Amino acid sequence: MSRSPSRPKPSDPARPRPARVRRRTALAAAATVAVSLTALAALPAAAAPALATGTRAGHPGAPVKQPVATGYGGAVSTVDPDASRTALEVLKRGGNAMDAAVAAGATLGVTEPYVSAIGGGGYITYYDAGKRRVYALDGREFAPKRMKEDSFVDPATGKPLPFDQAVTSGLGVGVPGTLAQWELALRRFGTRDLGALLRPAIKIADRGFVVDQEFHDQTATNEARFRDIVPTRELFLPGGKVPEVGSVFRNPDLADTYRQLAKRGTDWFYGGGLGEEIARTVAEPPVDPESTRNVRPGLMERGDLAAYRAVSREPTHVPYRGLDVYGMPPSSSGGSTVGEALNILGNFRLDARDPVTALHYYLEASKLAYADRGRYVGDADKVDVPLDELLSAGFARERACLIKPDQAAPAPVAPGSPDGSYEPCVPPGAQTRALAFEGPQTTHLVVADKQGNVASYTMSIEQFGGSAITVPGRGFLLNNELTDFSFQPPAPGQAPDPNLPGPRKRPRSSMSPTLVLKDGRPKLALGTPGGSTIITTVLQILVNRIDLGMDLPTALSAPRATQRNTPLVYAEQPFIDRYGGGLAARGHRLEVFPGPPAGVIGAATGLEFLRPGLVQAVAEPTRRGGGSALVVHPAR
């Protein structure tokens, strides 16, 4: 696999957590974004319009965010105005949706260092307008060659490691996939080279961005473990303190790392000196000698980085109400679980005049699909995933017949049997697998260009701050994605677990970058952070938009609930206020989502083609501070 910094040919076919109010770059830094992007232009570009500025949280010059933008020539929605602006400038200067998505992702690595970094991974679904086809690019981290099924079992006790100890450790660090995914994405679909797309992020990292309350609070949440890791403390606790709101945070180490990547290519990361530094950091976490924290060494070796490859996969596909819904296949469970739930819901009429009944079916379909997810879905390169049967109409009918219109099934429900032989109904069982923990700290972005290409991209380092381990002198945190594996093999006699750790195996994810087509053309693109709630958030937005007749801004901002085959339905308080009584009458037990952050489920971004050429980009208006939607040419 060649990882050179050379410019790709456009025709060459070939790789959490919350979304929040983004730290704003200082005005000077923001102004340099457009200037730095002049190198991207294959043709002379028109002068960029003046930057929109305003005041937020008392900081003059901070970019104004808008949750909805409608217009022509391309659109973008991310959690961060700096990332959205970066993507927009790429589009204005002739780059396509994939170029813009990568540039935005690199910028998020600066402004969103606790959820998005080159020390992590992610998934992209992409619509190629020229070929009228959807592609799926898997940049999920994989485990080191030395990882075994019981690597998270403490040999001294025979029990799984405490979760917090697994998180803050080298043991939880997977081989990062982001850069390999970017390389694959640009080689197959891009028109700009990685070095050019990194330049805006380099400028922001050098000049800094203004710390907002969210960045301050997330740092404070991590303060104790950041203090125990020397390079993390030096970077994220400058002067030994949590950065104050209104101060300017700079990351010259990351700027230099990006410069070196632009010059040397990604081979430096996977096969060269930086890869050696990463492996050494994982094997010997740079813990303060005076710390009492038990930060276990990891199993990663340099050869694990050299062996990593991002993978192009066939996306999942299900028809729904005359539309075609495409998602991410295993190693993600997003496409299969969203798809199965939609197939189940396709057996029922959902009426906007009776939202309680529609939401009852949504919760019950989610419950059944999650049971099957836990039993059957893992890394399809390592385990046999019956994907075709999980997404078959026959299996969906068999599962749908278990749903009662006026009564919620006690959860957890048992998984079904996707064996190709389907009866009208199957009896409910008593055993199912416990819901594995997935941190909700992720981020998602969507981009469409003037040619009609569309990228839906979810990226993550797992927890806020990932493993808390910073590669010394390199300016980025390493992930803790391997804690998405099941920690302990099942007891004798129990069903096998498809999500146990294993050598070079990718942990199961819930990331669900989703594309919806109508008559072969893009209609919707969406995704969200939220760990295992990602699937239900995407599913609920689709139900809101397609079945309940909401426009996309309303569908995305509507109050949410998540049912993941657990005894309780967790929901946002406005959802409980509006629908709780009617759903409780059918046996659903609702409680406020515990977070983090408490009471808030997801932070989605999406876009919709309203008619040929006219695109509406949508971000959260309030959740986790809201997001940033922009278009190249706003509609009047």
Question: Which of the residues are catalytic?
Answer: 442
Residue 412 is classified by DSSP as S
Which residues does residue 125 pair with via DSSP β-bridges, in sequence order? 136, 456
Q: Are 6 and 192 in contact (CB under 8 A)?
A: no
What would the two tokens of residue 404 be? 């009662």
What would the two tokens of residue 247 be? 């101060």
CA–CA distances in Å: residue 236 to residues 25, 224, 231, 471: 17, 12, 9, 13
Distance CA 282, CA 629 (A): 37
Burial class (CB in 10 A: 0-12, 13-18, 19+), 607: buried
Q: β-strands 121-128, 454-460: how paired?
A: antiparallel
Strands (E), 245-388: 248-249, 311-313, 316-320, 323-327
CA atoms lying within 13 Å on the CB side of residue 163 = 11
Distance CA 330, CA 523 (A): 24
Residue 428 is classified by DSSP as -
Which residues does residue 442 pair with via DSSP β-bridges, in sequence order? 460
Residue 12 is classified by DSSP as -
What would the two tokens of residue 66 be? 């808008």
Cα–Cα–Cα angle for 326, 182, 527, nearest 5°?
35
Cβ contacts of 173 within 8 Å, gap of 6 or more: 282, 298, 300, 466, 467, 469, 478, 479, 480, 481, 482
Give the number of residues written for the chain: 636
Distance CA 87, CA 94 (A): 11
Helix (H, G, I), strand (E, B) or coil at 568: coil
Distance CA 12, CA 184 (A): 11
Rounding to the nearest 10 degrees, give the CA dihedral for residues 379, 384, 390, 392: 120
Q: Are 126 and 98 in contact (CB under 8 A)?
A: yes
Residue 408 is classified by DSSP as P
What stretches of 58-212 show up as alpha helix (H) in DSSP?
A: 81-92, 97-111, 163-167, 178-189, 194-207
Tell me which residue of 365, 366, 414, 415 sits closest to 389, measured CA to CA. Answer: 415
Which stretch of DSSP H or E encloses residue 179?
A: helix 178-189
CA-based R_g, the chain, Å: 23
Which stretch of DSSP H or E encloses residue 541?
A: helix 534-542
Which stretch of DSSP H or E encloses residue 164?
A: helix 163-167
Question: What is Dmax (Cα atoms) for the chain?
Answer: 68
- Cis-peptide, bond into residue 621, ω within 30° of zero: no
Distance CA 13, CA 274 (A): 28
Burial class (CB in 10 A: 0-12, 13-18, 19+), 192: buried
